[in-house]
Amino acid sequence: MNKQTRNPSNLSPSEGIGNLTEVKSVSIQGYEGSFHQVAARQFFGKQVSIIPCGTFHEVIKIASNKKESDGGVMAIENSIAGSILPNYNLLQKSNLKIVGEIYLQIRQNLLVNPGVKLEDIREVHSHPMAIQQCLDYLHQFNWKLIETEDTALSAKLIHQHHSKHIAAIASKLAAELFQLDVITPNIHTMKNNYTRFLILQREDAAMQVESADKASVNFHTDHSRGSLARVLTAIADGGINLSKLQSFPIPGSDWKYSFHADMEFSTIDQFHEVIESIKPITAGLKIYGIYKKGKTV
């Protein structure tokens, strides 16, 4: 199979950091204005079209179909909440490859319709997690807090209903898309709140990254004493940094586990040498993708 090569370092100001200019549309979880769309724009550029999905399963389904999209963007872990474990399972069962990643700082903002002042607000609507992230700010006011299914949807609804007494917690992109004012920016308590998003493409369309320095793999061992330690030793002896190791129960087995590993390396040859060294001592080895370490935005 012929693979194209790209170099993310050669970007024009109008491009996203991923420089995948041939990508026209991607599936995301959530509505327009969601943090998934923010991540998609940061990686692909503002020109990318998004296909909103209600579930991560739908994201994978649409991303896997070349007639529907050019790929997908999927959150995989958060610096506060941890790994999104079901998404690893979705990835394992799919025909998708990781071609990139991006770390997005989650900034929550209080949005209102134009002309609405703080003293006009009676209710604040948003996703439960967003509300929890902003409680220190919200508790300064006697507002009724209403939980909704999505931050961006909350912003869209107060725009559609021309609400004068309801605010939403959402991204600045949601404010831009729905013509809302950011009455108070950055109302979240934890300032170091980052979500890691994976950039996914079908295996037949995934491009080889010229300057790749990271890979994600899945494997399991025979579960004899010291079997995992031998794999980890081989990885370390190969000079590779293991930035993440996550265990998952193997369905139908008696307390046996598979392992997801994120590996960082200096050269692609170094990675391939380590993979060859661990093949004899692992089973079910699958490479999810070889890509460039993500930037934080």
Q: Give the tens place of pLDDT for each residue, 49-101.
A: 999 999 999 999 999 999 999 999 999 999 998 999 999 999 999 999 999 99
Q: In this structure, are 197 and 90 located in the same domain?
A: yes
Put the strands of the sheet holding 123-126 in their side by side order: 144-147, 123-126, 166-170, 109-112, 181-184
Query: Tell me, what CATH number does 51's domain have?
Result: 3.40.190.10
50: in domain: yes
- Is residue 193's pLDDT more than 80? yes
- Assess contact for 208 and 4: CB atoms under 8 A: yes
Residue 8 banded pLDDT, cuts 50, 70, 90: very low
Q: In this structure, are 252 and 276 located in the same domain?
A: yes
Percent of the chain with pLDDT over 70: 93
Percent of the chain with pLDDT over 90: 83
- Is residue 14's pLDDT more than 80? no
Q: Give the tens place of pLDDT for each residue, 240-257.
A: 999 999 999 888 887 888
Structure tokens belonging to residue 120: 């006009």
- What pLDDT was estimated at residue 38? 98
Query: Tell me, what CATH number does 239's domain have?
Result: 3.30.70.260
Q: In this structure, are 198 and 76 located in the same domain?
A: yes
Q: In this structure, are 28 and 101 located in the same domain?
A: yes
The CA-atom distances, in angstroms, between 292 and each of 99, 207, 268, 270 are 8, 12, 11, 15
Q: In this structure, are 31 and 164 located in the same domain?
A: no
207: in domain: no
Number of domains within the chain: 3
Q: How far apart are the C-alpha atoms of 40 and 29, rounded to whole Å? A: 11
Helix extents (H) in the chain = 35-44, 56-63, 85-93, 128-133, 135-138, 151-160, 172-177, 227-237, 268-278
Residue 5 banded pLDDT, cuts 50, 70, 90: very low
- What pLDDT was estimated at residue 6? 36
Helices (H) and strands (E) in the chain, counts: 9, 18
208: in domain: no
Q: Give the tens place of pLDDT for each residue, 29-38.
A: 999 999 999 9
Q: How far apart are the C-alpha atoms of 199 and 293, rounded to whole Å? A: 12
Pairing state between β 257-264 and 241-249:
antiparallel
- What pLDDT was estimated at residue 2? 32
171: in domain: yes
Pairing state between β 25-29 and 49-53:
parallel
Q: In this structure, are 82 and 137 located in the same domain?
A: no
Indicate yes or no: pTM above 0.85: yes
- What pLDDT was estimated at residue 254? 79
> Taking every pair of C-alpha atoms in the chain, what is the biggest distance, in angstroms?
67
Q: Pick the more confident residue, 1 or 128.
A: 128
Q: In this structure, are 32 and 154 located in the same domain?
A: no
Q: In this structure, are 55 and 91 located in the same domain?
A: yes
Q: Give the tens place of pLDDT for each residue, 273-297.
A: 999 999 999 988 999 999 999 999 9
118: in domain: yes
- What pLDDT was estimated at residue 283? 87
Q: In this structure, are 198 and 95 located in the same domain?
A: yes
56: in domain: yes
Q: In this structure, are 27 and 100 located in the same domain?
A: yes
- Is residue 173's pLDDT more than 90? yes
209: in domain: no
Average pLDDT of the chain is 91
Angle between helices 268-278 and 227-237 (to 10 degrees): 160
Q: In this structure, are 90 and 121 located in the same domain?
A: no
- Is residue 13's pLDDT more than 50? no
- Assess contact for 216 and 294: CB atoms under 8 A: no
Q: In this structure, are 197 and 91 located in the same domain?
A: yes
114: in domain: yes
The candidate with the shortest Cα–Cα distance to 73, out of 125, 21, 25, is 25
Range of the domain at 87: 20-106+193-202
